[in-house]
Every structure is written in structure tokens, then in C-alpha cells.
Chain A
């Protein structure tokens, strides 16, 4: 297993465009999380999946954001009508149950909205 994989690594888009990011978690991990991180800040929770079910969404996740995890494997995060304030690093993490080993994070997708 190569860990948590995220694609693309970088995305530059014009304001108003839609973007979609993909996350492939560690195969044995049934829990998947999306976080957003801006410079100098810690990761902010966006949403959480257990298998294919989206069990929690942050109030930060406006209706322009949607996430899916079909079949409980990979996940996608879509941002519609992007705004400059959406520019951030989008991190995906996975874990097996609520264990003591913390989350394994992917390398993230850096979004720049121009």
C-alpha cells in the first residue's frame, strides 16, 4: 500500500469555475476525512465518511462544496463556482476505526483561485 493518494497535487482555476479533487485512502481504512488548511493555520475539518456514508459535515462546508465516497473506496471533493477564499491546501486523511494511531494524511491538493 502506498498510503493516502491525492490528485491533483496542484490546481489553478479561474474564479467561478468548478473543481474536483480525488482521494484514494489506505485500502484497509474505512474512515475518510477531508480537511482544509491555509497558511499558518492548522487543518480545519470539512467532512467525514465511514465507508460510503457521509456522517458529518462542518458548517465551513457551504452548499458549493460536495463530497462523495461511492462504494466506500475513493472519495471526491467538488467545489462549485470557486471563489478566491477557497484557495487553500485540501487534505484527505484516512483511519481504521477511531484508533490510537491517528490519521494518515495524503500530500494534499493545493488550490489557487485566480
Chain B
């Protein structure tokens, strides 16, 4: 099984930098995803990490430390449209099927 923890809510100012953290516990780690979900809409894929380190991808890079069971999503130059929930999801090898489990998400509010 898996246990994924994220802060419930965060608030940041337009133009600033914010870091959304995710910690997880799993027995068969095989990748970590970040998704963005605006209210009332479907999640959209942001980034994927399977190796340690920073995966650079424009404003939506992501960092992973497998030994610490930790990932973070650094959001730069925040825009009002970045107000959304950010979901951390962990893929776990479970027999022939690699199951993806989502955290409860971090609701980010960007203020002027």
C-alpha cells in the first residue's frame, strides 16, 4: 500500500516562487507524477520523475529524492491562473500492474 502526504492549502503572491511538497511511503516505487487540477475540471499532467534529481520543464519542474520518499514542485513566476489543486501521484509496481495512487492534493491560491 501507499501513503502520500501533501499540505492541504497554500497561498502565494503573484510573481513569487512557491514550493509544493509531497512525501510518500511505498514498497515498490516506480515513478512519481504531478498533476494540476482547476476547480471542476479534470487533472492535467505536469511532470514525471523516476530518478533522483530535478526534472526541468519550464515553470513546472519537479524534484525527487527516492531515499527520502520526497518530491517537490517549484512553481516560478506565479500567475493568477496557477490557482489550482496540485496532485502528487505515485506509481507502485504491484504484480503485473503498476498502480498509480493520488494524494489528496494541495490547493494553491495565488493572490495579487
A residues neighboring B (CB under 8 Å): 33, 35, 40-45, 48, 55-56, 91, 98, 100-108
Chain B residues in 8 Å Cβ range of A42 = 4, 87, 89, 102-105
Q: Could you name 30 residue pairs across A and B whose Cβ atoms are closer than 8 Å?
A: A33-B100, A35-B102, A40-B104, A40-B105, A42-B89, A42-B104, A42-B105, A43-B43, A44-B102, A48-B97, A48-B99, A55-B96, A55-B97, A56-B99, A91-B42, A98-B98, A100-B31, A100-B48, A100-B50, A102-B35, A102-B45, A102-B89, A103-B43, A103-B45, A103-B100, A104-B45, A105-B42, A106-B42, A107-B41, A108-B42
**How many angstroms between the C-alpha atoms of A35 and B41 in the bound complex?**
14
| B contact residues, range | 20 to 34
Within 8 A of A (CB), among B48-74: 48, 50
Beyond A100-B50, A103-B45, list 9 extra A-B contacts (CB 8 Å): A35-B102, A41-B105, A44-B102, A45-B99, A56-B97, A91-B43, A100-B31, A101-B48, A107-B42
Contact status A43-B50, CB under 8 Å: no
Checking B4, B44, B94, B96 against A105 with a beta-carbon cut-off of 8 angstroms, the contacting residue is B44
Chain B residues in 8 Å Cβ range of A105 = 42-44
**How many angstroms between the C-alpha atoms of A108 and B103 in the bound complex?**
18
- Pick from A56, A102, A103, A107 the residue with the most CB of B within 10 Å: A102
Chain B residues in 8 Å Cβ range of A91 = 42-43
Instruction: Report B35 CB to chain A, min CB distance, Å.
Output: 7
Chain A residues in 8 Å Cβ range of B33 = 102
Chain A residues in 8 Å Cβ range of B102 = 35, 42-44
